[in-house]
Structure 1
Amino acid sequence: MMGVVPGAVHPGAERRAGPLFAGIGLAALVACTIWAATSDHGSPARWRITLAVAAAAAGWLLLLVPLFPRRARYPWLAVGYFAGLLAAGAALATLVDAFTAFASIGYPIAFVLFPARWSIFAVTATAAVPLLAKEIWGTHTPTPAWVFVASVAGPMLYAAWFVGAENEKRRRANAALAEANARLETALEENAGLHAQLLTQAREAGVHDERQRLAREIHDTLAQGLTGIVTQLQAADRATSEDARQRHLGQVHTLAKDSLTEARRAVQALRPEPLADSHLPSALADLARRITDTSGVAVTAETSGEPVPLLPELEVTLYRVAQEALANAEKHARAQRIAVTLTYAGDVVLLDVRDDGAGFDPASPARGDGTGFGLQAMRQRVRRVAGTFTLESAPGDGTAVNVQLPAIVVSEPDR
């Protein structure tokens, strides 16, 4: 099917359009030849010339079949073809008036052969060239009225059709735009309600996240500090000498002081005390020594790679995970040795905490000894900073905690 715009052809009809218009031209040429043969067509010599030009025009029309699908890539070839067709039509109309109808075949071919802005010139040439040729080289016999009608009505009908098609297209476009505006206004009203709902949900989610953060901070500071204090007090009660008892009470005093400081900093959302004045590797080493001193478990802390200052939130996450993993190994796994390894590996930083304790089945439900919340807190911390948390353990085989975070570096003054 042809499009409503000159030069536009439906993709499905692209292969059929060339043969179709060539067939229309041949049918018009045959009809005009029969009409000319039954009317005054001049001397036999003139008629032989007319037939020869008609045969050439027929061959020229057939060239439209291979040309049509290539008209866009070779526009000057299309112009040359149309000029040849126009010359053949003008020559035949000059020889015999009956072929003036054949010259009008240029109107439909101009519509589909050229884009809209060029088809106007082709249509104008189709109307003017045959008349001028007849006036210059014709027999100067009176031209029938229908010839003038065909020459003038064709372009006018095309212009009227084209303007009507453009107006209809604009009308449909305006109607579609009005409908789209109405849908947009409705969508904006709906979005306003959704926006208010999202704000409410965001506030609720913020409250939930803050509660989770406070729960993690309390667990990582007060809960662990109080647990250590209770452990040292129990050890003091069991002490057999005054020196041992005083040593345990001194640890109680240190843990209580550290817990109080941590609690204050947690409320103020500041960095953990060990990270306030030191680098992460040093803070982990201090943490390992403190665990060794208070529990008697052999804890080692090693750093590999070139240490770099990371975003405070990343260092806090690594420190808190190490702190929780060591506390779990000390309290629940009954480990004798714990190894903490911090690795700076280019774009990522890795933390491994391994112990030789009793181990457990990670797939089993959370136990009643308090480890469930600690593991959940570690996972949540790591997930908040776009990291990965891996836990490997089995009954009797110890436990390994692995954390991988993006190594986002900050300048040294930001520490």
Structure 2
Amino acid sequence: MVEDSRWDRAQPILPYLFVLLPAVFAVLRDWRPAALLVPLALAAWHWLLIDRRRTSHPAVMIAYFIVLLAFLAVLLRIDSVFFVTGIGAFVLAFTLLPGWWAYAGVAATAGVLVGVPARSGSSARELIFSFLVAVLIASAVGLTTRAIAEQSEQRKVMIGKLQELAEENAELQARLLTQAREAGVLDERQRMAREIHDTIAQSLTGILTQLEADDGAGKRLETVRALARDALTEARRSVQALRPTPLDDAQLASALREVADKWSESSEVTTSVEITGEPRPLHVEVEVALLRVAQEALANVGKHARAGRVGITLSYMEDVVALDVRDDGTGFVPVRTSGFGLVAMRQRITRLAGAFEVETAPGQGTGISATVPAIPPEGSTP
């Protein structure tokens, strides 16, 4: 929206000032009811036909101006201080009357100002001179007023066009950024899909082939077979950019319990899952990120921690969701550790404007904390 200029804000008030201020001086100088009632009637006439008007038809404006001049003649008979009102009429002539009617209105106003309060004994030459001077001054004032109004209107139009261009530019920039981001995500996804397909998926397929061919497999071998099959399924789903299998039919809390139970069974490490707050659906990227962090943290515990117990806490809060994974294992020195797993977890969380922290020390176990905004699912109303 284009902000109104000072002239635009002052213009509606000026006609009332040109009428009511002289009325105040006239009443204070010599109390007469007409000095107050006639200006009030003129102000009401202006309000009804100008401020409240539904049309700016030239005939209506001309009729308004004729009545205005009649009021002006009466006011000049009451007190000469209402000469100031005539100056306001000059301004209104150029503001309201169309084309050459404005100059006719100026001439008529000058005639009223010169003829109505004419002193006895004034010669025709003096009256004509006064009339011409009044018309000249009024024309100069009117032309200045019209120029200001036109410049103000041009300024509004120009600012409006600039705002439209700025909005179009911002919209175009947003589309370009979105397209660039989508293109980058697609390229990265395709690259990762090729890597997973050519390496992990092929290796897991080979492992499953060998395991299926072994008829003497025991319980541990069956566990290895199940893990390899699950890993292959997840690799294929990653290639297809799908949700992790545990999240297909469950919310994050249930999926986290399922992942923890399977990991505990295969690793023979006691694992507990605690949910605080009211579980609720979250955006798919939030749920996937937290589930992947939990899976990676459990994988690290199984490979490095030699822990006897792992505790997982998922906390649903008003604006954020927090995941904590803590074990009683060997711990490590964080400064010396820059494994891919920790880096990948941190990147997943920070990409969602979240916070990722690792608390550990040799012999004191490890705690991993991930906090992300509780973004609702797509299409849900907040």
Which range, TM-score by smaller chain? Answer: 0.5 to 0.7
Deviation for aligned residue 1:208? 5.0
1:164-223 CA distance string (max 9 Å, x none): 6635874797699789989x99x99999998998688446523454268659x959x949
Q: Does 1:246 align with 2:218?
A: yes
Matches within 5 A, 1:103-252: 111=87, 116-117=91-92, 127-129=111-113, 131-134=115-118, 139=120, 141=121, 143=123, 145-163=125-143, 166-167=146-147, 170=150, 201-202=180-181, 205-207=184-186, 209-210=188-189, 214=193, 218=196, 222=200, 246-252=218-224
Matches within 5 A, 1:302-313: 302-313=274-285
Residue 275 of structure 1: aligned partner: 247
1:66-112 CA distance string (max 9 Å, x none): xxxx9899665314157689x9xxxxxxxxxxxxxxx999878965x
Give the whole-Å Cα distance in 1 for the aligned partners of 2:233 and 2:133. Answer: 99
Give the SS at the match of 1:389. strand
Q: Is the 8 A contact 1:104 1:151 kept in 2?
A: no
Matches within 5 A, 1:11-410: 77-81=20-24, 111=87, 116-117=91-92, 127-129=111-113, 131-134=115-118, 139=120, 141=121, 143=123, 145-163=125-143, 166-167=146-147, 170=150, 201-202=180-181, 205-207=184-186, 209-210=188-189, 214=193, 218=196, 222=200, 246-362=218-334, 364=335, 366-367=337-338, 371=339, 373-408=340-375
Give the SS at the match of 2:324. strand
Q: Is the 8 A contact 1:352 1:403 kept in 2?
A: yes
Q: Which amino acid aligns with 2:241?
A: A
Q: Is the 8 A contact 2:86 2:113 kept in 1?
A: no
CA RMSD of the aligned region, Å?
5.4
Q: Which amino acid aligns with 1:205?
A: G
Q: Is the 8 A contact 1:124 1:155 kept in 2?
A: no
Aligned in 2, Cα 1:175/1:81: closer, same or farther, shift over 3 Å?
Answer: closer
Give the whole-Å Cα distance in 2 for the aligned partners of 1:105 and 1:279. Answer: 83
Give the SS at the match of 2:274. strand
Deviation for aligned residue 1:325? 0.9
Structure 1 regions of 5+ residues with no counterpart? Answer: 10-69, 88-102, 234-242
Q: Is the 8 A contact 1:104 1:126 kept in 2?
A: no
TM-score, length-normalised on structure 1?
0.54
Give the whole-Å Cα distance in 2 for the aligned partners of 1:116 and 1:300. Answer: 85
Give the SS at the match of 1:340. strand
Give the whole-Å Cα distance in 2 for the aligned partners of 1:359 and 1:267. Answer: 34
Identity %: 36
Aligned residues: 305
TM-score, length-normalised on structure 2?
0.58
Deviation for aligned residue 1:400? 1.6
Q: Is the 8 A contact 2:293 2:345 kept in 1?
A: yes
Q: Which amino acid aligns with 2:230?
A: D
Q: Is the 8 A contact 1:6 1:115 kept in 2?
A: no
Q: Which amino acid aligns with 2:341?
A: G
Deviation for aligned residue 1:149? 0.6
Higher Cα Rg: structure 1 or 2? Answer: 1
Give the whole-Å Cα distance in 2 for the aligned partners of 1:277 and 1:312. Answer: 13
Q: Which amino acid aligns with 1:389?
A: F
Give the whole-Å Cα distance in 1 for the aligned partners of 2:245 and 2:186. Answer: 26
Aligned in 2, Cα 1:71/1:84: closer, same or farther, shift over 3 Å?
Answer: farther
Aligned in 2, Cα 1:409/1:400: closer, same or farther, shift over 3 Å?
Answer: same
Structure 2 regions of 5+ residues with no counterpart? Answer: 1-6, 31-78, 96-104
1:92-135 CA distance string (max 9 Å, x none): xxxxxxxxxxx999878965x7893289999966753553344x
Give the whole-Å Cα distance in 2 for the aligned partners of 1:270 and 1:150. Answer: 91
Deviation for aligned residue 1:407? 3.9
Q: Is the 8 A contact 1:71 1:78 kept in 2?
A: no
Deviation for aligned residue 1:326? 0.9
Give the whole-Å Cα distance in 2 for the aligned partners of 1:192 and 1:305. Answer: 39
Deviation for aligned residue 1:311? 3.7
Give the whole-Å Cα distance in 2 for the aligned partners of 1:343 and 1:196. Answer: 36
Deviation for aligned residue 1:354? 0.8
